[in-house]
Amino acid sequence: MRSLFDAIETFFETLTGISWAPLALAVLCHLGRIVARSRAWRNVIAAAYPDTQVEWRHVFGGYAAGIGANAILPGRGGDLLRLYIVKHRVEGSTYPTLASSMLADTVFDFAVASILITWALSSGILPGSDVLPVLPGSDWLWVFQNPQQALVIAGFFLAIALVVIGLAYHRITDFWARVRQGLTILRTPRRYLRQVALFDAIDWALRITSIFFFLRAFDLPATFFNALVYQVAGSLSTALPLTPAGIGTEQALLVYLFSDVASSSKILAFSVGVKLVTIAVNLTLGTIAVAVMLGSVRWRHRVEADAAERA
């Protein structure tokens, strides 16, 4: 935490040295990503409910509200808000189907992220097993330092899951039928490529472009290679999001990965600066979306009331 606060202080001290034009372009690319991504998710939902009119503006509102909440909540808690909003805008929809539609929308992400991480591992870019256990600030630090306890905890939760499945077999059968409905678009590869993968590819192109402009804004070497390295760190930091937006893990990885590019303080200031800018954009957009979609920014009360009513 001390190093994180020091990085935030360094970021504000270097505000006068930031190039604002590249920063504005980076923000525009980030907003373009959200538009493309919400369009892909809308198409997945439309395939799951072919007889229902699924309007993109409703899906965009739910998606924007979700990323706004994820900016301040750990563990991707904003996804619950996203599901709540879309469920109340798509007639006849269910939470299991919408949740699985989110999974269908990540197939392209998983493939690209796997390729990037494989490239980073084969190139020797990522830290090895001798470095990860002592990498400061990592969300996974406890897991590496206590592998036996981590396995015991994982086994405990797996046993609970198996017991629950056994006790609720019939309900789970109906649940899986709804889950398969959310994956409908994967059964039509051409439609998936045209209506989902295309928008996801646009999202990734804008993502790398946004990183490129962020590097220029903070006076770091703006190269395609460095943009890919940053993206690898970002993908790993959100794989286990124990902190809001993966703060901590990403900074620890970037200090290691960019050790030959700039000083640790400059790298931390850059990383925290990018994170603060994207959090501010996501939070602002999300707050507006919540206010428009729910008529109030106090969305927790609405979600809790809905859960109590269903119970």
The DSSP letter of residue 257 is H
Average pLDDT of 224-239? 80
Q: Please tell me which residue, 53 or 163, carries the higher pLDDT value.
A: 53
Range of the domain at 293: 2-310
What local confidence, expressed as pLDDT, does residue 24 receive? Answer: 95
Cα gap 85→250, rounded to integer Å: 30
pTM, rounded to two decimals: 0.77
Q: Which of 71-80, 194-203, 214-223 is most confident?
A: 194-203
CA–CA separation, 117 vs 281, rounded Å? 27
Mean pLDDT over 200-209 rounds to 95
CA 119 to chain centre: 21
SS3 category, 92? coil
Sorted by sequence, the CB contacts under 8 Å of residue 107 that are 6+ apart come out as 186
Q: What is the pLDDT of residue 152?
A: 62
Task: Give how far the C-alpha of residue 150 lies from the chain's centroid of Cα atoms, to the nearest Å.
Answer: 24
Confidence of residue 33 (pLDDT cuts 50, 70, 90): very high
Q: Is the pLDDT score of 74 beyond 80?
A: no
Burial of residue 21 (CB within 10 Å: 0-12, 13-18, 19+) is: exposed
- Residues in Cβ contact with 42 at an 8 Å cutoff, skipping those fewer than 6 apart: 54, 55, 56, 59, 60
CA distances from 105 to 35, 44, 197, 201 (A): 14, 7, 8, 12
> What average pLDDT does the chain have?
78
Q: 265 or 180: whose pLDDT is higher? A: 180
Tokens encoding 151: 């396995």
Lowest mean pLDDT among 5-14, 69-78, 232-241: 5-14
Is the pLDDT at 164 greater than 70? The verdict is no
Q: How many structural domains are present in the chain?
A: 1
DSSP state of 188: -
The pLDDT of residue 163: 55
pLDDT band for position 56 (cuts 50, 70, 90): very high
Q: What per-residue string of b and e applies to 69-104 under the rule 16 or more CB within 10 Å gives b?
A: bbbebeebebbbbbbbbbbebbeebbbbbbbbbbeb
How much is the pLDDT for 131? 47
Q: How many residues are given for the chain?
A: 311
Burial class (CB in 10 A: 0-12, 13-18, 19+), 275: buried
Assign 216 a pLDDT band (cuts: 50, 70, 90): very high
pLDDT at 37: 95
- What's the pLDDT tens digit per position in 91-117? 888 888 898 899 888 899 989 988 988
Ranking 154-168, 184-198, 250-264, 284-298 by mean pLDDT, the lowest is 154-168
**For residue 159, pLDDT beyond 50:** yes
| Mean pLDDT value of segment 142-150 | 55
Confidence of residue 162 (pLDDT cuts 50, 70, 90): low
Report the alpha-carbon distance of residue 261 to residue 30 in Å, rounded. Answer: 24
The answer, yes or no, to whether residue 38 has pLDDT greater than 80, is: yes
What is the structure's pLDDT at 310?
Answer: 61
Could you tell me the pLDDT band of residue 5, with boundaries at 50, 70 and 90?
A: low
Higher pLDDT, 115 or 234: 115
